[in-house]
A and B are shown apart, each in its own frame.
Chain A
Amino acid sequence: MRWVSDFTISRTSGVEARPRNRILTLLTAVVFVSLFILFSSGKAWGIIYIDINSPAGVRIPIAVPDLHAENEGGLTLFRKIPEIIAADLEISSIFTVINRDAYLEKISETSFISGGIYFPDWKMIGSDSLVAGTVRTDGDKLSAELRLYDVSTGSMLTGKRYSAPAERFDMIAHKFANEIIYQYTGVHGVFDSEIAFSAKKEGEGKEIFIVDLTGKKLRQITGNGSINMFPRWSPDGYKLAYLSYRRQRPYVFLRDFSTGSDDLLLRYGGFKSPGSFSPDGSSIFLSISVKGNADIFKFSFKDEKLVRVVSNYGIDVSPTVSPDEDKMAFVSDRTGFPQIYVKTLPSGPEKRVSFAGYYSTSPTWSPSGDRIAFASMSEGKFSIFVVSPDGSNLREVVSGDGSCEDPSFSPDGRYIVYIFRKKDYSEIRVTNVTGFGDRLLLKGMRDMSSPSWSPRR
């Protein structure tokens, strides 16, 4: 029994007596344990997996029935508020609102107050979620309680009680719509924001207008019969800078909605186009043409100082600043055709990021900072593209049988407003950044241009 003599371990541990039998025992044990492990589990047989490839829908179905009116006054608003919420949710392109004719139930006092909403009735009509609430008015004061339910589980996702002047019922509706979006995405909606733009209404003057996201509430901001264009919002959403010819020459004005003032901001140079405010609102980046060559300047409001940021023999226009004010994108024709460049501020390198069409313009930085949208021309018409600030991840967002121009991001960075133009016709459209849910916002005016999405209020 010296067959293990080559093994020091064996020799020292003295494995001498009947090693063959021991090994056999061990082997049997190992095999048995293995078999036990293998077959002890019922799941070893495997379960059936069903592959599901195409969903029934590409939006979340939601029901927004009439609110329960708690008093006479509530009867004037019990339908108006849900109608606005429904319109907002449709705009989001995340939800589809189920037609109210399909609703099997009304929200009554008993069902709402005692928490006895009969959810199978709402599930029956295919709804995933439900908005229910009550409303009352006392004099010109309105109070409403709104709740969002998950229909499958019957659980309340959120509930809010609002009070406001009765004529601001639309604000309450927008706020709760924002809340619904928040519940499903983790980011609040933008339904209380607005879009400023310039267009010809009557006559040849081009005026500044503001429209809400439903496209129904339109306000005219300027009315001087001259040419007013390039409205740009301040970060707090209370000021609007724009270019106006009302004093015959192109000057930049600043409209302050909180005070009602409308002051001349800048005379210097020839043609100017306001680009974007700095993120802290203390200054504005704009392009100014001096002696026929447009360069980019930064104008600070406090000391009224003008600093040249980009200077080049080519034309440099349309500055847009990143949310951290670290970088700026702009248009330059230094290589012969206009393209988008990104400059590291204040005096870093300038790098071209647009490699879509041969003619790219109107850059706008997303509020989240991770991408830039711009319009690029190929085959004679513009399409909207997005690209990362380093020039990667270029992709087309929207194009059509006309030109898609002048993009501007929503404050949550999820949507882009732009101008659709075909010959003499123009309209304002809004699309999701993914390119999904593209829709008309406003038409019926001539030569609409340069829409600018306001911040959240």
Chain B
Amino acid sequence: MQRDFKKMLTLSLLFHLLIFLPLFLVSMKRSTIIIYSSVYTVDLVEPPGKSKPTKEEVAMNEARVREEKKKDELKRKKEMEALQEKLALLQKKKVVEEQKAMADLSARVEALKAKKSREILSDRVKQMEEKARQEEKAREKEKTEKLIDDIQKKLAALRESRNNKQGGSVNRESGKTPARGGFSEKEALLMSPAVKAYLNVLDETVRGAWNVPRALIDNREDIMVQLRITIEENGDVSSIVVERPSGNRPFDESVLRAINKAAPLPVPPESLKEGKDYYEVGFRFHYFPDERSGG
């Protein structure tokens, strides 16, 4: 009887697994991607009164195009130089900030150490007093020690990160599914200075191109657009996929304009591309109406 019950249980378990696991996985796989179609319809005005161009005109135009191409290249070069300068500046800034943070932390450790020694002394004096109170003190001491320990660890981590990096702050978030094996690998990649520096430049470039017509956003709540873009080897943006529109048309459009204006984007480091000839990165643009001010 008991054996029968056991078998029944096993069978039931398998049955459930058989039905629900594929269901679960399939639902997980289904993406909720919305392809954002172009927001403008273009109605071209014919250039007036211009019949077929003559040969000289064609030649002139071609010469002009060639010249413009040259100009364009020069400009790109300049832009790249400017970007690199920006990067260097950023790195300098970060180093200074970290030095400050370290000095701050050391001061705190010293203060806590002093506190700890004072407490040990007073413990000895009061040894004859109530046992309960002593225990309480001990507990407090433990806490303090733990705090010191924590801070020292942090300090060590900071020192380490300072030694092997020149990049920016860590306010990045890895994608949708961080808990699935290989996370540490991904995180290690994210911590690398080249990647951090790159993400910082990307952030600055897109932010700098983003203009939100606040007058058009008559919204009381925080809104957000989440999108994913593909950056090609030459920095061109080959696709924009809006994963979560905000529902506010002027806001969504401002975000798309920003991406288009920021392009061509800085070229990602090899380590991020993972062997592919393109790189996919996501952005989340937030708008907080409370911060609105006149102007």
Contact = CB atoms under 8 A, between A and B. Distances in A.
Interface of A: 3-7, 23, 26-27, 30, 33-34, 37-38, 41, 43-61, 92-95, 110, 113-116, 118, 120, 123-124, 128, 145, 147, 150-153, 155-161, 183-186, 414, 432-438
Contacts, number: 209
15 contacts: A4-B11, A26-B18, A30-B17, A41-B29, A45-B186, A46-B176, A46-B177, A47-B175, A54-B291, A56-B208, A57-B211, A118-B71, A120-B71, A145-B48, A435-B294
Contact of B25 (A23, A37, A48, A183): A37
B175 A46 contact: yes
B68 A118 contact: yes
A116 B64 CA distance: 9
Contacts of A47: 175, 228, 280-282
B207 A30 contact: no
Contact of A128 (B3, B48, B261): B261
A208 to B, nearest CB: 30
A49 B283 contact: yes
Given A34-B25, A157-B40, A52 B206 contact: yes
Contacts of B105: none
A94 B50 CA distance: 36
Interface in B3-36: 3-4, 7-8, 10-11, 14, 17-18, 21-22, 25-26, 29
A385 to B, nearest CB: 15
* Pairs A-B, 8 closest by C-beta atoms: A46-B175, A159-B45, A152-B260, A49-B282, A58-B214, A57-B211, A93-B215, A55-B210
A93 B211 CA distance: 13
Contacts of A432: 215
Nearest to B289: A434
Contacts of A6: 4, 8
A107 to B, nearest CB: 13
A47 B263 CA distance: 20
Interface string B177-192: 1101010001000100
B212 interface: yes
Contacts of A44: 177, 180
A157 to B, nearest CB: 5
A30 B18 contact: yes
B8 A33 contact: no
A74 to B, nearest CB: 14
B250 A115 contact: no
Interface residues of B, number: 83
A160 B11 CA distance: 74
B175 A436 contact: no
Contacts of A46: 174-178, 186
A71 B185 CA distance: 68
Given A94-B215, A159-B44, A433-B218, 19 more contacts: A6-B8, A30-B21, A37-B25, A46-B186, A47-B282, A48-B175, A50-B202, A50-B203, A51-B283, A52-B210, A56-B208, A56-B209, A59-B213, A59-B214, A113-B47, A113-B50, A115-B47, A160-B45, A184-B253
A45 B215 contact: no
Contacts of A151: 261
Contacts of A115: 47
Nearest to A186: B249
B215 A33 contact: no
A161 B48 CA distance: 10
B231 to A, nearest CB: 11
Contact of B216 (A30, A61, A94): A94
Counting chain B CB atoms within 10 Å of each CB, which of A7, A23, A160, A414 scores highest? A23
A8 to B, nearest CB: 13
A54 B207 contact: yes
Contacts of B257: 60, 128, 150, 152
A51 B50 CA distance: 49
Contacts of B18: 26, 30
B95 interface: no
B294 A48 contact: no
A33 B22 contact: yes
Contact of A438 (B8, B17, B294): B294
B286 interface: yes
Interface string B238-257: 00000000000110011001
A447 to B, nearest CB: 26
B284 A49 contact: yes
A54 B202 CA distance: 15
